[in-house]
């Protein structure tokens, strides 16, 4: 009997009925659940056999990889085992998976995923692996292209797919789409890791509070432009966003000026005049009734007390406070301001 036939028999012996934990409809209210461990093993081994796995050493390696213990692995661990199987069996998949192991300034070549004849289970989970890498590497646009093509019903770990898709939408300020994805994750998906659920709830609150044309939104747009420029992308799309940032800043400044200008009263007429009002700029500050200008000698407060320069321990505490209390995109701006402040020369010795 051929090795491939043995592998087929092994897959058949552990196969379980399909789709028992999936909702029948594709609506937003459908329950999204991970595939059972036995079903993941069955589909992965079935794919390996159909891909032509015949090498005895490889068959042994794959067999050990799928020797499941009594306690079923988590969906995340099952996904990792499937990806490792893809890497062992398929040279093309190995090339793509290897490219996703290291940081890069350019997205890996994912042309393999564009082939129409790929087995659906293999395609969905390899695509999920690549999309997660792109999201973690801050290639949010490219990641969303992959996420939008994933069939959740065929994924081993749908919670991870939805979470990292929501991360991309959150970072790209896609409020409507992001809230929809997060709603799917929090309300319709089973076996969501605590860390995913906690961060998703924070993203949900953050997106819900995001106001269009606010200073908060402009700050995030600036951070996104900085991210794109870091990858050497200064093309038409980035220039368009930069122009939009300038336009929105102009609107915000104009609005503030209008509020300040409209706050005072232009009262005139026959009312009593205010003896303290003046049509010119204010002169030196004086105590009422005094003829002295109110000047005092400047004093050197020195640096012995650590003024303007916190000890390392206190700096660490301050950074932790910033991390806890402020959104991540504010930290860089605050640290840059503090660096400039520390470098500023004293005005007098």
For residues 137 and 171, the answer to whether their CB atoms sit within 8 Å is no
Question: Across the chain, what does the average pLDDT equal?
Answer: 78
Judge if 26 and 117 occupy the same domain. Answer: yes
Q: Are 238 and 226 in contact (CB under 8 A)?
A: no
- 39 pLDDT exceeds 70? yes
Same domain, 50 and 152: yes
- Model confidence at 19: pLDDT above 60: no
Asked, for residue 333, whether it belongs to a domain, the answer is no
- Cβ 146 vs Cβ 178: under 8 Å: no
Sequence-distant (≥ 6) Cβ neighbours of residue 14 within 8 angstroms: 38, 41, 42, 45
Q: What is the pLDDT of residues 333-348, one digit of tens each?
A: 666 656 655 665 554 4
Q: Is residue 294 assigned to a domain?
A: no
Cα separation, 29 vs 211, in Å, equals: 28
Tell me whether residue 337 is in a domain: no
Number of structural domains found in the chain? 2
The CA distance from 45 to 204, in Å, is 38
Quick check: 146 and 109 in contact, CB under 8 A? no
Residue 127 pLDDT more than 50?
Answer: yes
| Alpha-helix residue ranges (DSSP H) falling in the chain | 3-14, 37-50, 56-65, 75-89, 91-99, 120-136, 140-147, 158-171, 175-188, 194-209, 215-230, 236-261, 312-325, 328-343
Q: Angle 196-149-163 (CA atoms, 0-180°, nearest 5)?
A: 5
CA distance 156 to 80: 9
The lowest-confidence range among 126-130, 188-192, 234-238, 279-283 is 279-283
In angstroms, what is the C-alpha Rg of the chain? Answer: 30
Paired strand residues for 189: 32
Does residue 283 form part of some domain? Answer: no
pLDDT at 135: 95
Whether residues 123 and 198 fall in one domain: yes
**pTM of full prediction above 0.95:** no
Question: Residues 226, 177: one domain?
Answer: no
- For 236, the domain range is 217-259
CA atoms within 13 A on the CB side of 285: 3
- Residue 286: pLDDT over 90: no
**Do 134 and 25 belong together in one domain?**
yes
Q: Which residues contact 84 (CB under 8 A, 6 or more apart)?
A: 65
Q: Does residue 143 sit in the same domain as residue 237?
A: no
Residue 46 lies in a domain: yes
């Amino acid at each position: 009997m051929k090795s491939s036939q043995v592998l087929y028999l092994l897959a058949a012996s552990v196969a379980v009925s399909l789709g028992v934990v999936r909702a029948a409809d594709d609506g937003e209210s459908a329950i999204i659940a991970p595939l059972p461990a036995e079903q993941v093993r069955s589909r992965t081994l079935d794919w390996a056999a159909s891909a032509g796995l015949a090498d005895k050493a490889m068959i042994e390696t794959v067999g050990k990889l799928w020797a499941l213990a009594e306690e079923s692995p988590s969906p995340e661990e099952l996904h990792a085992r499937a990806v490792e199987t893809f890497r062992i069996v398929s040279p093309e998949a190995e090339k793509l998976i290897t490219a996703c192991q290291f940081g890069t300034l350019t997205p890996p070549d994912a042309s393999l995923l564009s082939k129409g004849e790929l087995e659906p289970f293999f395609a969905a989970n390899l695509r999920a692996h690549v999309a997660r890498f792109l999201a973690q590497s801050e290639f949010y646009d490219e990641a969303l292209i992959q996420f939008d093509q994933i069939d959740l019903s065929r994924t081993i770990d749908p919670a991870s797919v939805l979470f990292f898709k929501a991360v991309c939408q959150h970072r790209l300020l896609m409020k409507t789409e992001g809230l929809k994805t997060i709603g799917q994750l929090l309300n319709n998906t089973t076996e969501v890791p605590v860390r995913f659920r906690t961060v998703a709830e924070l993203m949900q609150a953050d997106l819900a509070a995001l106001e269009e044309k606010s200073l908060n939104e402009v700050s995030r747009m600036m951070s996104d432009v900085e991210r794109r420029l870091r990858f050497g992308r200064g093309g038409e799309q980035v220039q368009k966003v930069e122009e939009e940032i300038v336009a929105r800043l102009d609107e915000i400044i104009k609005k503030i000026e209008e509020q300040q200008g409209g706050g005072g009263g232009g009262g005139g007429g026959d009312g009593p005049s205010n003896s303290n009002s003046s049509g010119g700029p204010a002169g030196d500050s004086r105590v009422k009734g005094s003829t002295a200008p109110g000047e005092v000698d400047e004093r050197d407060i020195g640096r012995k007390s650590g003024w303007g320069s916190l000890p390392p321990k206190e700096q660490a505490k301050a950074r932790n406070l910033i991390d806890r209390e402020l959104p991540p995109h504010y930290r860089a701006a605050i640290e840059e301001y503090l660096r400039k402040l520390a470098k500023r020369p004293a005005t007098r010795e």
